[in-house]
Every structure is written in structure tokens, then in C-alpha cells.
Amino acid sequence: MSAKAEVEAEASTKEPLSAAASQNGDIALLSISLGRLMYSCSIDGRKQRFGIG
């Protein structure tokens, strides 16, 4: 759980995507957050290569 929270915290500070998502609404933020979380859990290094995180 702390690892998930860590990923979330990192993603929110580093990604301008989360700011855009919060403008679109909670659902967008939720889905992006969830996708980002799952993505970083499965492929941590690739996330940065694609520039998603």
C-alpha cells in the first residue's frame, strides 16, 4: 500500500497530466491515476521512457 501511495505522490508532482485531469473532472483523474498506477506497477522503467510518468 505504501508503494502505491508513493507512486501516486510521485506521479502527481511530476505529471502535468494530473493537473489536466483534475480540470476534466474526478472521473478522468481517477482513470488516469488508476491506469498510471497499474502501468508503473507492471512496467516501472518503461513508464518514464514513454514520458507518461
What pLDDT shows up at residue 38?
A: 74
pLDDT recorded at residue 24: 60
**DSSP classification of residue 8:** H
Give the per-residue pLDDT at 23: 62
Written as tens digits, the pLDDT of the chain (53 aa) is 577 766 666 655 555 666 655 566 777 777 878 887 777 666 665 656 666 54
Question: What per-residue confidence (pLDDT) applies to 27?
Answer: 72
Residues across the chain:
53
How many domains would you assign to the chain? 1
pLDDT of residue 32: 78
Containing domain of residue 37, as a range?
Answer: 2-50
Listed in sequence order, the residues at least 6 apart from 10 whose beta carbon sits closer than 8 Å to its beta carbon are: 53
pTM recorded for the entire structure: 0.28
